[in-house]
Amino acid sequence: MEKLWGDNFFDQKAKKWKNHDQGDDESKIKRAFVAFCMEPVIRLCRATMNGEMDKVEKMVTTLNIKMKADELKLQGKFLMKNVF
């Protein structure tokens, strides 16, 4: 939990925590909060708004979110609000 805040980075390739970004311009390492919290939320939000139901169902199942069949039939903003 402490690693999510501040200048903490997780290098996916090396599978190590770092307290500074050592990557070059193309392989910039993202902050831990962005990589583990913000990006998954943004991916789920975009998938719901774009109607990518296969991605939404996979993410909802992985997160153990129980949704009824009629809730999964919703589209766009209504689906996003229901998921969140």
Q: What is the pLDDT of residues 49-65, one digit of tens each?
A: 998 999 999 999 998 98
* 11: three-class secondary structure by DSSP: strand
pLDDT in tens, 19-43: 876 655 446 788 888 888 899 999 9
Between CA 32 and CA 9 the distance in angstroms is: 5
Between CA 44 and CA 21 the distance in angstroms is: 26
Q: Which amino acid is at 28?
A: K
Q: Which amino acid is at 9?
A: F
Residue 9 β-bridge partners: 18, 31
**What domains does the chain contain, in order, with CATH numbers?**
2-83 (3.90.1430.10)
Work out the angle at residue 48's Cα, subtended by the Cα atoms of residues 69 and 41, and round it to the nearest 5 degrees.
115
Total length of the chain: 84
Q: Could you tell me the pLDDT band of residue 48, with boundaries at 50, 70 and 90?
A: very high
The structure's pTM equals: 0.76
Q: Report the pLDDT value the prediction gives residue 26, as an integer from 0 to 100.
A: 47
